[in-house]
């Protein structure tokens, strides 16, 4: 009898994983651009929660940062820096997340208004708190995370051209 119960639980676990994988594939098959992501576990959340975007028992939610054309190197709450087009972190609901960006190479710079969707934006592109100059310059922004959220950042080409940073938040 015990063996039968364990087999049913094992099948339930495998079925649940398949449902999450299918839901993730459907959610990622939009008509918009594809942004690969890395998931970081911040503030004690579970990586599975960040990957599925679900609220966990600890009240964690997913903060996604879209990095326009990977022109920045981004950290969330002091985590590992990434130049991925998109990265996600599991953060506590109601917490203030600190996001820091620096140019990913000497080809890029911090522009006047690199942030969208952060506390400082007032509905449009926003400046961060900048520190330093050139390729070692950083820009810092914050966001109060009340649910699964997305913000974006753009380190720009000199003169913001020929490909300019977006002026509206590209987050879905």
* C-alpha span between 71 and 47 (Å, rounded): 26
The HSE-up count of residue 81 (CA atoms within 13 Å, CB side) is 11
Say how far apart CA 65 and CA 89 lie, in whole Å. Answer: 9
Contact 82, 74 (CB under 8 A): yes
Contact 49, 40 (CB under 8 A): no
Q: State CA 170 to chain mean position distance.
A: 12
Query: Distance (Å, rounded) from C-alpha 33 to C-alpha 36?
Result: 10
Tens-digit pLDDT string for the chain (172 aa): 444 433 333 433 434 333 333 333 333 333 333 333 344 433 333 333 333 344 444 589 999 999 999 999 999 999 999 999 999 999 999 999 999 999 999 999 999 999 999 988 776 889 999 999 877 899 999 999 999 999 999 999 988 889 999 999 999 8
Q: Can you give the pLDDT at residue 58?
A: 53
Residue 159 has what pLDDT? 86
Residue 38 CB coordination number (10 Å): 15
């Amino acid at each position: 009898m015990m063996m039968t119960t364990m087999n049913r639980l094992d099948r339930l676990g495998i079925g649940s994983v398949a449902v999450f994988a299918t839901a993730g594939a459907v959610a990622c098959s939009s008509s918009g651009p594809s942004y690969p992501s890395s998931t970081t576990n911040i503030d004690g959340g579970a990586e599975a929660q960040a990957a599925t975007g679900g609220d966990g028992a600890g009240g964690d939610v997913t903060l996604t940062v879209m990095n326009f054309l990977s022109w920045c190197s981004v950290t969330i709450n002091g985590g590992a820096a990434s130049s991925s087009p998109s990265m996600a972190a599991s953060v506590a609901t109601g917490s203030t997340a600190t996001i820091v960006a620096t140019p990913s190479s000497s080809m890029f710079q911090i522009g006047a208004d690199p942030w969208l969707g952060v506390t400082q934006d007032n509905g449009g592109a926003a400046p961060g708190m900048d520190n330093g100059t050139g390729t070692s310059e950083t820009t810092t922004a914050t966001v109060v995370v009340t649910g699964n959220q997305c913000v974006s950042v753009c380190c720009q080409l000199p003169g913001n051209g020929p490909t300019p940073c977006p002026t509206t938040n590209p987050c879905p």
